[in-house]
Amino acid sequence: MKDDTRPPLPEAAPPRDGTPSTDTRGAAPPPTSPSPTAPGTGITVVGIGADGWPGVPERLRRTVLDADVVLGGRRHLAMLPGRPGQRREAWPSPLREGLPSLLASLGGASAVALASGDPLVSGVGTTLVELLGADAVRVEPSVSSVALARARMGWPAERCAVVGLVGRDPRLLLRELAPGHRVLVLSSDGDTPAAVAALLAGAGYGASRMTVLGDLGSDSESRLETTADGWLGTAPPGRVPALHVLALELAGPSGYGLAPGLPDDAFEHDGQLTKRDLRASALARLAPSPGRHLWDVGAGAGSVGVEWMRTHPTCAATAVEADAERAARISRNAGRLGVPGLRVVTGRAPDALEGLPEPDAVFLGGGATRPGVLDTCLRALRPGGRLVVHGVTLETEHLLADAYRRHGGELTRVAVETTAPVGTFTGWTPARTVTQWFLTVSS
């Protein structure tokens, strides 16, 4: 229910056509330091509710009308009364790419940006803070659509998730699937409920309850209720307002948890897969945490990068894979498991690592003996960064033993055996032993 045209969040930065990305260069770096393009007097972001301009407090109305420049979506700008000499600019599209030049054009002018509800809830306020820094952005929120939706549903804040689908891939919802889980979806437009219904039904969650809360806070507030299966029936449940929040009460089979160690058959693969127990061991050492970025080098099926991103919505990963068919398979795995924003780079390390966003952790699952790969991964990590390397050959084991002598860390050999039929009996079948080197980079 957002009017603001905004970019995807970092933990899911898919291309704008909604498909997982497969490219040859990698993702744009996350924002680091504030841009020097902030107007001299800073920028004030004013949240506007569904009641529009009349609902804006008098103090903030004066702020808006006294500004030299007002930025906003076309719907919000159209609400404003006339004010001679005031410059009004609609958000550029795409927003993230166009904002720096727009902000630079402000010079020292006083500027106000208009946003929906709470600008820091999946809104343009978040983007402006990332670009300009918190000190240059003053946020004046209205009641958010999320707060209004929780109030209408009677859902405590701590007992429901919020997923923004404004300009983002609906498959992000697949990460949330769990029986009894409640999710508020910030919809992109009136077509979002149908897309969500199809997604849920396809995942075995057709019995999930869907409630469309339209035009929250306005005189025309509306409510539509049905199930995902019902939505896909012969008759639509009713007209869907363009501005709405979709409330989901999920009902379906117990699915995958968010803890690392998904079953191997959760992934499409050709045998090049970090197996479940070794994957869980590697991720325990890589220690994913909010906002962190992983390089999954020699990614195979992409299982480590996918599981890294599943641990938290703001985790990001770049999978580097030389084989184009496997790279495409990584994208499919990411989409099916609810992390369509995983970035896939088709290329061979170390050359393919050049220009990638700086990692907080690196998993090197294949190709460690290729000249320059291990050293490049080590140089890319800042102090405190984590590296896990797996090897199954004598050559790789020799390389890792030498790295252990030079850098320290942990060197472990992991042997896993699983049961299998032996005639009419049951016996143990060993997998290939894996040597694992783990290092936390020191200063």
What's the pLDDT score for residue 237?
A: 73
Integer Cα distance of 144 and 442 in angstroms = 43
284-302: pLDDT as tens digits: 999 999 999 999 999 999 9
Interval 73-83 mean pLDDT? 95
367-388: pLDDT as tens digits: 999 999 999 999 999 999 999 9
Residue range(s) of every CATH 3.40.50.150 domain in the chain: 264-440
Residue range(s) of every CATH 3.40.1010.10 domain in the chain: 31-143
In DSSP terms, 317 is beta-bridged to 294
Structure tokens at 191: 């077509």
Its pTM surpasses 0.95:
no
Superfamily designation of domain 264-440 = Vaccinia Virus protein VP39 (3.40.50.150)
CA proximity to 24, closest of 331, 296, 343, 334: 343
Integer Cα distance of 34 and 394 in angstroms = 48
Is the dihedral angle over the CA atoms 110, 116, 118, 122 positive or is it negative? negative
CA proximity to 98, closest of 166, 37, 33: 37
Q: Provide the pairing of β-strand 386-391 with 434-440.
A: antiparallel
Q: Given pLDDT bands bounded at 50, 70 and 90, which one contains residue 434?
A: very high
What's the pLDDT score for residue 54?
A: 93
Topology annotation, domain 31-143: Cobalt-precorrin-4 Transmethylase; domain 1 (3.40.1010)
175-197: pLDDT as tens digits: 999 999 999 999 999 999 999 99
Is the dihedral angle over the CA atoms 171, 172, 173, 177 positive or is it negative? positive
H/E element holding 371? none
153-174: pLDDT as tens digits: 999 999 999 999 988 999 999 9
Residue range(s) of every CATH 3.30.950.10 domain in the chain: 147-249
What's the pLDDT score for residue 236?
A: 67
221: region left, alpha or beta (phi > 0 left; psi from -120 to 50 alpha): beta
Q: Given pLDDT bands bounded at 50, 70 and 90, which one contains residue 8?
A: very low
Which CATH architecture best describes the domain 147-249? 2-Layer Sandwich (3.30)
Percent of all residues in the chain with a pLDDT value above 90, rounded to a whole number: 84
Q: Given pLDDT bands bounded at 50, 70 and 90, which one contains residue 234?
A: low
